[in-house]
């Protein structure tokens, strides 16, 4: 069972690798099972964050948004 979602993190316009670092720092404040919603620019920022977070063992769900960005819902392992 997953926990509640943390406050959303809007990283649209944030360059790589800063968006990955900020996502990791936000995840570190969460308990196992809690969720973090992150908005990123589509393309390289989305891929790098999603792949890096998944490689660390966290669950990642990806959804494209109508404005061309990407919403990641990350469940902390």
Indicate which CATH number applies to the domain containing 21.
Answer: 3.30.110.40
Q: Which domain holds residue 50?
A: 9-75
Is residue 54, in this structure, part of any structural domain at all? yes
Report pLDDT digits (tens) over 14-54.
999 999 999 999 999 999 999 999 999 999 999 999 999 99
**Angle, CA 69 vertex, CA 65 and CA 49 arms, to 5°:** 115
| Domain count of the fold of the chain | 1
Res. 3: pLDDT tops 70: no
Is residue 41, in this structure, part of any structural domain at all? yes
pLDDT at 12: 96
Q: 42 or 3: whose pLDDT is higher?
A: 42
Is residue 3, in this structure, part of any structural domain at all? no
pLDDT at 56: 96
Res. 1: pLDDT tops 60: no
Global pTM?
A: 0.90
3-state helix, strand, coil in the chain (%, to 5): 30, 30, 40
């Amino acid at each position: 069972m997953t926990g509640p979602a943390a406050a959303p993190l809007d990283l649209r316009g944030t360059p790589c690798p800063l968006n990955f670092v900020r996502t990791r720092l936000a995840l570190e404040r969460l308990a196992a099972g809690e969720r973090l919603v992150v908005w990123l620019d589509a393309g390289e920022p989305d891929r790098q964050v999603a792949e890096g977070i998944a490689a660390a063992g966290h669950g990642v769900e990806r959804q494209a948004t109508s404005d061309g960005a990407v919403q990641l819902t990350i469940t902390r392992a």
